[in-house]
A = this chain, B = another copy of it.
Amino acid sequence: MHIESRVEKLREYMESEDLEAVILMNPENQYYFTNFYAITYSRPIIAVVERNATHLIVPQLEEMHAKEEAKVNDIRTYYETPGKVGDAIILLKKLLEGSKRIGVEKRFLPICLAESLGKDIIFHGIDSLVENMRMIKDDEELSLIVKAAKLADRGVKKSIEYARENVSELEIDNAGNFEILSQASKNYPEMRNSLFSMSPSGSNRTAIPHVFSTGRKIKKGDMIIHSRQVSLNGYRAECERTFFLGPLKKYQEELLEIVTEAQKKAIEKIREGIRASEVDRIAREIIEEAGYGSYFPHRTGHGLGLSVHEPPYLRYDSTTILREGMVITVEPGIYIPKMGGFRHSDTIIVKKYGAEVITRTPKDLGYLVR
């Protein structure tokens, strides 16, 4: 889907809800509707969609960048130098003068901004609309995600193969980083990319599902959950593998087998028309039947795209029905204090008649036990 048709869809909604303008503050949504993505922090960037024009408010140091990349009708600049407008909010208020009903991301818009626009304005949430639009990926988005998945695979493989006694979690991450950045440089030289990884190791640290890598050195008998996301032009894929610096203990093998089976069975069920909650139920039942239900403390998976996590969520109480073009992870896990954590994650494109698994790092023990 092109930027233009996305904006058009947003405008149809604006018309139906009688909104005069939409403010976009979330950088991912800004990118989705304007093609502009900046390195963001203390200087606000604001996108505004009106019925007949699109605008971007940027600090001066992003002006040239925005002119090159943003697909908007109008760029307005604020300055950090004397004698010029120095505040994004002043520009925004001027732009929205007279508007009474404004669409906003209610999960993102800070109340200071709402307050500074005035008490008379009615803020209408557009969160669900945008989430629903972003859930179904078009061909261009899918193509980026498939490429990102290939990079993630390469990185995960490199990290696993690099692991040996006395190598630290950070060094395991770094081996994969190196591979991914080299490959991305070679194959996608024009694209923006980003990396995230973590490699908790040992039976204490892997038992906590999400922790940052540290300099802890891995030891014989350790398990490691290596987790990796890669993005290309903002679009993300994820691959996670639990692997072992042998020898493998019996209980480790058993627990890994359970989560691997739960993941496999959940993936087999995926296709257009199945409920997200049903995918969670299948994985959860397998883990419960094995007696570890209380050690599976999270949903079975999540959508991904421009966000690290985004709808649909494979959660027991989700009402979402999976549709072709959705991209999700499937990653049931078992975490037992002092015994360790076990989880593989793969990225999947929902198809009409099944799941296309786009991360392909091996899961057989011959590969995962180093």
Query: Footprint of B on A, CB under 8 Å?
Result: 38-39, 41-43, 59-65, 68, 79-82, 86, 104-112, 114-115, 123, 125, 127, 168-171, 173-174, 177-178, 181-182, 184-193, 198, 207-212, 214-217, 284, 293, 296-299, 302, 307-310, 313, 315-317, 335, 337
Contacts and interface: CB of A to CB of B under 8 A. Distances in A.
Contacts of A107: 110, 112
A114 B111 CA distance: 8
B61 A209 contact: yes
A83 to B, nearest CB: 9
A315 B212 contact: no
Nearest to A192: B212
Given A86-B317, A309-B42, A215 B198 contact: no
A173 B181 contact: yes
Nearest to A60: B297
B190 A214 contact: yes
Contacts of A61: 209-210, 297-298, 335
Give the top 7 A-B pairs by smallest Cβ distance, nearest first. Answer: A189-B215, A185-B215, A42-B309, A168-B185, A106-B112, A60-B297, A61-B209
A23 to B, nearest CB: 11
Given A43-B309, A109-B111, A173-B181, 5 more contacts: A42-B313, A65-B211, A112-B125, A188-B215, A190-B215
Contact of A296 (B81, B192, B298): B81
Copies, count: 2
Contacts of A190: 214-216
Given A123-B111, A316-B82, A59 B298 contact: yes
Contacts of A174: 177-178, 181-182
26 contacts: A41-B307, A42-B302, A42-B308, A43-B309, A59-B298, A60-B298, A61-B209, A61-B210, A62-B209, A64-B208, A65-B210, A65-B211, A68-B208, A81-B284, A81-B296, A104-B111, A106-B111, A108-B110, A112-B125, A171-B185, A173-B181, A178-B178, A184-B215, A189-B215, A190-B214, A191-B214
A192 B64 CA distance: 36
A355 B216 CA distance: 35
B106 A42 contact: no
A298 B39 CA distance: 15
Contacts of A217: 185, 189
A206 to B, nearest CB: 11
A158 to B, nearest CB: 13
A212 B309 CA distance: 22
Nearest to A189: B215
Contacts of A112: 106-107, 125, 127
A198 B39 CA distance: 10
B42 A81 contact: no
A96 to B, nearest CB: 16
Contact of A106 (B105, B110, B335): B110
Contact of A189 (B82, B114, B125, B168): B168
Contacts of A308: 41-42
A232 to B, nearest CB: 11
Contacts of A214: 185, 189-192
Nearest to A59: B298
A185 to B, nearest CB: 4
Nearest to A80: B299
Contacts of A68: 208
